[in-house]
A and B are shown apart, each in its own frame.
Chain A
């Protein structure tokens, strides 16, 4: 491993895993952490508690479809939702750079409050630190969240089984592409917006109707490709994706095409990958499509016994290729 932390170590892909494996896991490791799920689930007397934390460092702070405030609420709610939990309380920590406009801070906190209210969670504790100009980039937010996991719910990245279907609740790569285009001032035709949204009502409805759901995972940094690789490794199964079935907005596909990027690796903030027995797939799809956040839900792949630890894509023209985990930040090409 490198002697210094590189930006790649924060990409959510291979390098991030390496950093966790080499630095954090050996020193902080315990069974909860080693489960490598979006939240830790702890058995307390009479309750199962889910606990998670996430930091938000997005540039720009405001982007089409959201801002760092709503994102900090949705992201942590979603991490709880992915363990099957009903989110209850959040905490929020702010690191502010000297010189930040108070009006900007206010608008972001207002958006946070709105997002929390809409999602039915309360921000119950907070912290603020200010660092000298140049020691942080405007504003960083950390949120932590707790929730309750209903009895009988048991989902996890290690539970995928051959024969399962892989579903997603809508289009792939919207958030990452929207943020990239805004940050770099690339004006693309169309209306590419972040999909940032709280998924807990969708997941709890799904778990109620289809209690045999094996895995719920939100494909954030590293995108659908990286998240499915994590599931394939944790469950020691192969995953086969169908290119034809992947829901991708034409403007997102176009922007990625021009930049030489792959929507499968672009971040999502309002998407959930659902792995469940094939025979429950239709029921789950019907239910998801009735929910506001699942109108374009699709069956995108299947879990297979071959190729354990790998994700394979069956292409439109009938060929196949490997879909690897993200290695390093996706970089546009030169020609």
Chain B
């Protein structure tokens, strides 16, 4: 793998020029409120220090684009349940390990002796199953359309290898229905979406057509470098000012109108849309992905009889409101007082893509430095 030409998209001089342009364009406009849907955008904006440089009339709120954060408490508990089953190796992406369920997390189960493995891709979990023929390997499939095709590929691979001991607990979700759910609630007063670059490389910009048609909401598919984000914002402001809502692609080096059709086909071959519960947004029809019936033998939810678990979500946790963009993390009464990355009360504080975690880590009024702390 190689990655070049990144610095070009972080050029300080060009960024300042774009900022000036953005400020000039916003000068005579009423305050605007845009949502960056994707957690990677939230983190990129903080990491590049862009937030304090935005014109005062541009407000950016973070959305539900963090797969770990939007996973319902019950699904987290089920993932943890798999880890407690004898003879089971639970494999998942690192981000999920520390997320607290009602009682414990995967990391805590691992400390108690459960066999929980962090993998970098679902195919690593297939490899685990191949190496451990006497054990059941359950892969916790989590993520949006960026990740789902790779998990579909792993399932196809397990089938080809004839593996009897590999299954996937799919808590995958798709983004466009969640965007519509947000808009239909009507209380957010958004003026546009900064649409996620990575997800859109798979689903294509066309996936946002309905959002524009039904809600007249400007959508700009945007990359993750500072210059991308500034240009994406400028395009949103332009659409908003000219009252001409449409789907535009800023991130042309990665995203096409149609997207990656091979990945779409693979996803559709293995998964079918299903209703899903999102933390913060609740029930959203057709927003989840489950294994199709002809792949049912790889469905962990069918291979195991997962009990229905009484979920205890901390009633004081406001992650749900944060995910809807209705509450800034710094306004949550738990933020930084009882909820920290060390001792997270909700998933938004745990995930590296989580809004609360990003605020805690990067926001200038952020972490309490505990100057008096002796260690």
Q: A interface vs B, CB < 8 Å?
A: 2, 4-8, 14-15, 17-18, 20-21, 25, 34, 36, 184, 186-190, 232-233, 236, 244, 250, 253-255, 257-260, 262, 307-310, 312-322, 324-325, 327-329, 331-335
Given A6-B107, A331-B97, A334-B142, A258 contacting B352 (CB threshold 8 A): no
Known contacts A331-B118, A335-B40, A319 near B52 by CB under 8 Å: yes
Q: Which residues of B contact A320 (CB under 8 A)?
A: 49, 52, 364
Q: Give the distance in Å from the alpha carbon of A324 to the alpha carbon of B341 in the complex.
A: 11
Having A232-B369, A319-B49, A329-B94, one finds 11 other A-B pairs with CB under 8 Å, namely: A25-B374, A189-B2, A253-B3, A308-B369, A308-B371, A316-B226, A321-B47, A322-B361, A327-B342, A328-B98, A331-B95
Asked whether, in the complex, the Cβ of A7 is within 8 Å of the Cβ of B1, the reply is no
Cβ-defined contact, A189 with B371, below 8 A? no
Shortest distance in angstroms between A186's beta carbon and chain B's nearest beta carbon? 7
* Chain A residues positioned under 8 Å from B340 (CB to CB): 327
Query: B362 near A322 (CB under 8 angstroms)?
Result: yes
Contact B364 A322 (CB under 8 A): yes
| From B3, B46, B360, B363, contact of A258 by CB (8 A) | B3
Instruction: Name B144's closest neighbour in chain A (CB-CB).
Output: A335
Query: Chain B nearest CB: distance from A191 CB in Å?
Result: 12
10 closest A-B pairs by beta carbon, nearest first, are: A319-B49, A309-B369, A331-B94, A254-B3, A315-B49, A317-B15, A309-B371, A189-B2, A335-B146, A17-B375
Which residues in B have their C-beta under 8 angstroms from that of A334? Answer: 67-68, 93, 95-96, 142-143, 147, 351, 353
Report the separation of the CA atoms of residues A186 and B374 in the bound assembly, to the nearest whole angstrom: 39
Q: Please tell me if the beta carbons of A333 and B120 are within 8 angstroms of each other in the complex.
A: no
B367 touches A (CB below 8 Å): yes
Task: Please determine whether B95 and A332 come into contact, CB atoms closer than 8 angstroms.
Answer: yes
CB distance from A29 to the nearest CB of B (A): 10
Task: Tell whether, in the assembled complex, residue B108 and residue A2 are in contact, meaning their CB atoms are under 8 Å apart.
Answer: yes
Establish whether residues A317 and B108, one from each chain, have CB atoms under 8 Å apart when the complex forms. no
- A-side interface mostly: loop
Closest to A238 in B: B369
Q: Which residue of B lies closest to A332 (CB)?
A: B94
Return 18 A-B CB contacts under 8 Å, by A number. A2-B108, A4-B112, A17-B375, A20-B375, A36-B375, A188-B2, A189-B2, A258-B1, A259-B120, A308-B369, A315-B47, A316-B48, A318-B12, A319-B50, A321-B47, A321-B49, A327-B342, A334-B96
Q: Which of B67, B97, B146, B371 contacts A233 (CB 8 A)?
A: B371
B residues in contact with A250, CB < 8 Å: 3-4
Residues of A within 8 A of B352 (CB): 260, 331, 333
Is there contact, CB below 8 Å, between B98 and A21? Answer: no
Output the least CB separation between A18 and chain B (Å): 7
- Residues of A close to B107: CB separation below 8 A: 6-8
Whole-angstrom distance between the alpha carbons of A267 and B156 in the complex?
37
List the B side residues contacting A20 at CB < 8 Å.
375
Is the CB–CB distance between A316 and B95 below 8 Å? no
Shortest C-beta distance, B19 to chain A (Å), equals 8
Chain B residues near A319 (CB-CB < 8 A): 48-53
Q: Is there contact, CB below 8 Å, between B48 and A317?
A: yes
Chain B residue with Cβ nearest A335: B146
CB distance from B205 to the nearest CB of A (A): 17
Contact B6 A335, beta carbon cutoff 8 Å: no
Roughly how many angstroms separate A18 CA and B146 CA in the complex, as a whole number? Answer: 36
**Is the pair B362, A321 in contact by a Cβ cutoff of 8 Å?**
yes
Closest chain-A Cβ to B92's Cβ sits at a distance in Å of 9
B3 and A25 contacting across the interface, CB-CB below 8 Å: no
Main secondary structure of the interface of B (DSSP, over half): loop
Is B312 in the interface zone, CB < 8 Å from A? no
Interface string of B252-295 (1 = CB under 8 A from A): 00000000000000000000000000000000000000000000
Chain B residue contacts of A331, Cβ below 8 A: 93-95, 97-98, 118, 352
Known: A4-B112, A21-B374, A253-B6. A328 touches B341 (CB 8 A): yes
Known A253-B3, A254-B2, A327-B341: A335·B67 in contact at CB below 8 Å: yes
Task: Identify which of A2, A313, A328 contacts B49 (C-beta below 8 A).
Answer: A313
Alpha-carbon distance A258/B47, docked complex (angstroms): 15
Q: Give the one of B48, B52, B68 with max A CB within 10 A.
A: B48
B67:A184 contact, CB within 8 angstroms: no
Task: Given A322-B361, A334-B67, check contact A21 B1 (CB 8 Å).
Answer: no
The yes or no answer to B199 lying at the interface (CB within 8 A) is: yes
- Which A residues lie within 8 Å of B4 (CB)? 250, 254
CB nearest to A244 among chain B residues: B12
User: Of all chain A residues, which has the CB nearest B97?
Assistant: A331
Q: Give bound CA distance, A146 to B277, whole Å.
A: 59
Interface centre among B6, B11, B96, B374 (most CB of A within 10 A): B374
B253 shortest CB reach to chain A, Å: 15
CB distance from B364 to the nearest CB of A (A): 6
Report A-chain residues with C-beta under 8 Å of the C-beta of B3: 250, 253-255, 257-258
Chain B residues with CB below 8 A from A321, complex form: 46-49, 362-364
From residue 89 to 126 of chain B, which have CB atoms closer than 8 A to chain A? 93-98, 107-108, 110-112, 118, 120
The smallest C-beta distance from B283 to any residue of chain A, in angstroms, reads 23
Closest to B14 in A: A317
A186 to B1, CA, bound (A): 9
Contact of B375 among A25, A190, A253 (CB under 8 A): A25
